[in-house]
């Protein structure tokens, strides 16, 4: 198969680049010739990403950023743009997942999920707009989730944050359409990532942190239809990274204001 080189000469910022889908996206874009700044709150995660970049390491830089902190985002985004000499693609992959019975969810826990996922996407995007406006075929890829449109029990805060991201993506796509900045979202579901890699029953079904008395029969409607190797329930993060790479590239020049669901047919 011919190796795609859609990112040669493109400058890309990926948040959440220290693990899971974010890390896989960094590696995919590097493989396609892009120059990338990976941002993450975890220094250890960023070191791991660097170690996996291999011969593309010279096109990868990292920066520690807490996407829920305005000062951290402002400084980290400016650093990334300076290092890259501009910005053509932004991927907002940073996020957290917390699961709990709704009536046992604290205000602090609910606000934390919204702060990282929704507010974080807002902050990084806002700080990136001036550079994107001057970029080549500029594109933003946000991370929504199948939980934004379909019932995922015990994940009310996560679902609310991802629904907000999806709605914001549509709004921004319209607002910046005449400036040529495209905004799209991906909706992963049943994907192995830093958020979902738990142990035991949780690993086999829907991820870590579920209540001890969780009713697993509630998840029967969100199981993938497509078969995976060894009877796995989760697809690899590469399945999402491939779609992100397409949406963030000039190949998607006529796609904006929409979302792509990547869930193995869980919600047909």
Q: What is the pLDDT of residues 128-161, one digit of tens each?
A: 999 999 999 999 999 999 999 999 999 999 999 9
Phi, psi (rounded to 5 degrees) for 197: -80, 90
Whether the Cβ atoms of residue 144 and residue 189 lie closer than 8 Å to each other: no
| 8 A C-beta contact, residue 17 and residue 95 | no
pLDDT value, residue 210: 85
Give the per-residue pLDDT at 196: 56
pLDDT > 90: percent of the chain: 83
pLDDT at 260 over 50: yes
Domains of the chain: 11-262 (3.40.50.720)
Among the listed residues 198, 222, 264, 186, the one whose alpha carbon sits nearest the alpha carbon of residue 21: 186
Least Cα distance to 240 among 216, 258, 260 occurs for 260
Question: Looking at the annotation, which residues are catalytic?
Answer: 158
Note the pLDDT of residue 267.
Answer: 87
Interatomic CA distance for residues 14 and 27, integer angstroms: 10
pLDDT in tens, 186-234: 999 989 876 655 432 333 333 457 899 999 888 877 888 898 887 787 8
- Look at residue 65 and tell me whether its pLDDT is greater than 90: yes
Average pLDDT over residues 29-39: 98
What's residue 1's pLDDT? Answer: 43
């Amino acid at each position: 198969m011919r190796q795609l080189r859609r990112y040669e000469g493109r400058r890309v910022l990926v948040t959440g680049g220290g693990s899971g889908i974010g890390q896989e996206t960094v590696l995919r874009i590097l493989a396609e010739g892009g120059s990338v700044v990976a941002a993450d709150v975890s220094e250890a995660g960023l070191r791991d990403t660097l170690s996996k970049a291999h011969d593309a390491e010279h096109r990868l830089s990292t920066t520690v950023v807490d996407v829920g902190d305005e000062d951290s985002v402002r400084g980290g985004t400016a650093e990334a743009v300076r290092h890259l000499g501009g910005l053509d693609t932004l991927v907002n992959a940073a996020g957290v997942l917390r699961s709990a019975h709704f009536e046992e969810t604290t205000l602090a826990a609910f606000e934390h999920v919204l702060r990282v996922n929704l507010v974080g996407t807002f902050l990084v995007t806002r700080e990136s707009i001036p550079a994107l406006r001057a970029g080549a075929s500029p594109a933003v890829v946000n991370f929504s989730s199948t939980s934004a449109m379909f019932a995922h029990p015990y994940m009310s805060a996560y679902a609310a944050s991802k629904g907000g991201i999806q709605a914001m993506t549509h709004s921004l796509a319209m607002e910046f359409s005449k400036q040529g900045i495209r905004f799209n979202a991906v909706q992963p579901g049943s994907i192995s990532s830093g958020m979902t890699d738990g142990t035991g029953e949780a690993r086999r079904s829907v991820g870590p942190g579920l209540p001890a008395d969780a009713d697993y029969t509630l998840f029967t409607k969100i199981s993938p239809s497509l078969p995976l190797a060894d009877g796995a329930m989760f697809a690899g993060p590469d399945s999402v990274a491939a779609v992100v790479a397409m949406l963030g590239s000039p190949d998607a020049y006529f796609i904006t204001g929409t979302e792509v669901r990547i869930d193995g047919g869980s919600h047909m």
